Structure 1
Amino acid sequence: MGKTRISRLAAPVLVRGRSLFSGRLFERLRHVLWAALISLALYAVFLLQPIDQFLWLFQSRVADRNPTGDVVFVSSNEALNDTDNPQTRFRVAAALDELDRQGVGKVFLDIPFSTSENAAADARLARAIADLGPRISLVDRILEGPTGERIRRTTSPTIAGPATRVVSDQTDRDWYGFAWRLHYAYQNDGRVTRSLGAAIAGVEGNPNETFSVDYGFAVDRIPTLQLDELSGNARSLSELAAEVTGKTVVIGHSGLVAGSQQPMPRKMDAAVSYVDIYAGESLKAGHTGSLRGPIVLSFFAALLLISIVFSRARRQRWVAYSATVLVAPALLYAAAKIGIRLELSYALTFLAIYAALRSRMRWKRRVEMVNQETGLAKLRALEARLIRDSVTNGHIVIAKIQNYERVLKTLRADDKGSYVLKLVDRLRAADSNLVVYSDGHHLGWHVANDDTDAVVEHLEGLRAIFAAPIQVGGFSVDVGITFGIAGVEGDPSARLAAAVAAAEETSEAHNPIAIAETGSQTDLLWDISLRARIDDAMEAGEIYCVYQPKIDLQSNAVVGVEALVRWHDPARGFISPMHFIQQCEKAGRMEHLTRYVLQSACSAGQLLHFRGHMISMSVNISATLLSDMRVVGLVRNVLQATRFDPCFLTLEITETARISDHEVAATILNELRSIGVRISMDDFGVGAANYEAFYELPFDEIKIDRMFVANIAKDPKARAIVASIAAMGRGARITVVAEGLENPQDIPMLQEAGCQQVQGFAFSRPLSLSNLLEYQELAPEQTLSNIV
């Protein structure tokens, strides 16, 4: 029975633990770790100490505690130790005599007296000090000189006699000039002398130990007297403003005397003696504790971790975040009330850094979910919206733009987005508020109508609208559009995939509108059947590699080839590489396909080297594989199995925009480079290959996208882009390859732009291995038409 109860309690924890290092949760934990490390680094260099001192001012204000009343401050607005006016010493002596008569407990004379020219005045003061005996202590003050040296001001021995001495060090100050921590004692000339604050409280301590000064006591509640009240000049001695019998009295200058001012949290022009009075009161009350930055930081890190791990829903997490933030002022206030100094700035910085990291990640996701050319949200945003809003009714519609890639090739770069937006305007003909999502040649949206026939009828009407051509960039472009439909039930992600799959099965002539079968079983069968076909095709040799040469423009010789994967299905014929690679990713077979292509390419490269053709072999690697170190083992194992020299292998990274973590990807790429392989950035210049990835990842080669190379002769913009990318490559000391060269007459322009290598139909189409071996035997000037 007991075991059953324990297992029931442990089950939720175990389930949460299994998902601890997956997805968004791991991302949040990583951000907590980074925020904590940065905050600790700031603590190590005391960078946030001024912020803590500002918060301590707040603590001092809100505490509002009563002092013990056992310490009385006797002040004078006149400098009593001026050697040019020795008569004031008689007044000090009279005050000491009166304190002796009143039965004072302790007296601390916080005014250093040096010998004056009036021996009678000095003798009178010395006698008054001697009469108090062990009840009086003379204060030596340590000041900072104009050049930073320590100056000790002390009462002359002829005046002090055998009186006990204590020390007040005015160099114990921080950023704003406040004395937040003082020493129990000070060591001078091998002798340990108690500090004034410790002596007031009657405690002993080590010179190396310090304590916090609590300024939470109300300054106006500290008993005070004017010196003249004790010396008998002001009024009758029986009318003292404060009782001194049995109490501790500190005699010192007020803040009106030059050089005696000291800023305090509750009084910016206070007398310097107040600092030591507050120190004594702090020690008496036991309010000398403090919570250092790492302790407070650990507390808030624990709160944040609890909020992250146990808050499943977004709303719960935001409530937990808010509660964690509100704990900070509450903790600051509570610590002030109980007299504990709190170093809160590092915890606040920790929370701020975590919030900044999360905000950056959310911004990055929003950017990733937006098509940069059109400004429309991507299909992933539609999926996120359906999940977030818990949509369970209606239909998902995916429109497939027919001949999309061919149309884009004919348009200028700035007209591509306009082309898609004009298509979206037509889709909104019946509903101007329709939210349309764009991703490649797919446009998608959600229809709230549950009637499938009505949705199909509406789409038939939209197809009629698209019968008319669209005007883009001064050209009239015919539009072909087909639709895939999936009912929303169960898993929105699966239904979106089903709608995309249905759209891919459409054709303008025979099946313009396809409806995905109800239920998620169809989607599962799609993936399973695709997986089986891919595996069987690789075993049967239906999936194979062809090789496109890369030509060095300086030597006009073949310096490498790129391995391109192809699939010829006996039943369906040639399958588009873009399509089956995309479906291969969905089926989770990308790693298996990559291993197959890499092994075929390295084996072909080894055969070429055996024939004496020492050229490089390039293989495409999907960016989705750069989140796991297993790809390094995959490449290493293939190289060992084929015995292909790694220095002749180039891995071309495709679709770099899909890299979720550049830091992890950089680590993986550097590990691959350590094997000896070279890293290339494919399709640079278009949305999938951006400057951020180029900057943050270690590339040895950059390939200019075919869209710019193909238009270099007729479009000055394309020519300028090619030249700028080539110049950037030269500056970064990496190889620049122009791919997609179709016209041999464009070669001089590419040479002038600074491209080092080219590949494209101008030299050769992709070749089978046997044709490639034959091609390698040809002289560069011979025609290639017979073998292409």
Structure 2
Amino acid sequence: MARSKVTENGAIGASCVTPDDYARLYRALRTLSAGNRALARAPDEQTLLQDMCNAIVEQGGYRMAWIGYIEHDEHQTIRPMAHAGVEEGFLQLLDLTWSEQSATPSGLAIRTGTPQVGHDVLHDPALAKLFEEQKRRGYAAVSAYPLVIDGEIGGNLSIVSSEYNAFGEEELRVLSELAEDVAYGISALRSRVRHQEVEAAMHRMAYYDQLTGLPNRTLFLDQLGRMIASSSPPFRPFTVGILNVTQFREINDVLGYQQANELLLQVAARLQPQIDQGYFLGRVSDNEFAILQPNTDAERASQEAVRLLRQFDEPLTVAGVQVDARLRIGLSLFPGHGQEPDALMRRATMASRQALRSAVNYTIFNGSLDKECTRHVSLIAELHHAIEHDELRLYCQPKIQFDTGKLCGAEALVRWQHPERGLVEPDLFIKLAEQAGMITSLTHWILEAAFRHIYTLEQAGRPSPLAVNLSARDLLDPRLAERIRGLFLTWGIDPAHLQFELTESALMDDPGGALATLNQLKALGVQLAVDDFGTGYSSLSYLQRLPADTIKIDQSFVGAMIADQESDTIVRSTIDLGHNLGLHVVAEGVENRDIWNRLATLGCDIAQGYFVSRPIPVEQFDSSWHATLAA
């Protein structure tokens, strides 16, 4: 056979060493050296393959060299990746396959995993149809080497010589080492590429929003820091904008997170074409985008805000539904509003919150917002201290029956007499407690104080029901009912003397969850009242399912019923509705005799308001309220 392969001991066949053998060995070593240089310098895989083929031909003096990769297709194709030397379309003439039918050196090398040699290709029967083509190109001998890449055969290196009986034992060993180097270089470059891909993926995860592909908050702050550094000194003004997407949370709650994500993708797609060169757009929170506008003063920033807002005059389509998702934009300006990234972002965010209440839907930050925020932060810390150190005070606002004029209970109210600020408005510190996640702590304080007060009244023989307000967040607390059950065990009071008031709007935040919590509370034997009735848009079917005992007509309707016929109609209808459902009806906001008389005429059950009594400290309620009634 003209073709041979290396045996286990490396012997190819008995031969004596000749000067030609030494010359060929030297050629192989020169090729190996050139290949090592190519290996060290190649920046990528394709360059390595081509440089290796070039080195084999140019430095080694071989007639032709080529490298192929295997395909795992039906034909088991060998795909040429690089070649050098006298090729002239020869590879296109070959049936390049590594299947069982292939008898070519390249196919055999891949299939067997061992080097293959054809010492005289012009007399090899397997290559008979290519005799003329090989002769014309000066091909006399060929060797092929498997490329073992990452532990698996992935291709071949094939070298053609113009000399018969080339590729002796030592030459073959050197060229086999070259093939191993090529395979090692391919593995190393692929490993480098994989490492770079991992680094790129980690960089993208760290600095880019996974949904929209925009820079995330981290990268946006980095860019903002660089812009500050490059803009001062001399100070060159620029704008930070926070763009708040309205309707995001509603769509997330009603349609689901996938549709909410689709909304954000459409917002991003509508924003990006509007961003001028040099601007920087990012997504910095769930429903907030941010933009940096260089070389922009207040007037230009306002113009840009109006331009962006106009892009959302047309609704977006989400899940086949048209959504009027508009932007609210808050702006802060460098250097006037700060020279630190956090300060500029915080003030732009504050302005965006203010923009929710703005008729033009955008707001430029002003100092009063910052002062208000600073005051609120200080109040939150002081409120936490007041709750922890029992510095709050319990007040009661009495309720009386229309038909008898007698006391029938009171509403528990919390007051905060600040040692320096004076009396802090309840609407302010209760709202702050909700925003700061402290409402549960505040509710716990009120519950403790209410149970203590009810116990005191029972011990004095003057029991009177006391109503405690629960917030929407309280209703979401899975431990609420258990905590109240524990208070009943601690104080031993009669559950009939405790009532819970829940605003209609709080009930409608999560109707199913609220109903489950109310049933748990009702099982404790307490009374339940729906507060601010008429403002929460609850359905009659839902109201019928509630285990409520009382509804309280919102004071906005009660206070206006004398002067406003529609308010009077609402109050009258609510009283009738409550009685038809078997509920007691309380009117809150009874401020004068005219309102009292009208409510009495309509058959309302209970009155609460300044005409009855202002809220009074719990200590005074214990000692003086009954005397006032007796008088």
TM-score (normalizing by structure 2):
0.46
Bigger RCO of structures 1 and 2 (CA < 8 A, at least 6 apart): 1
TM-score (normalizing by structure 1):
0.37
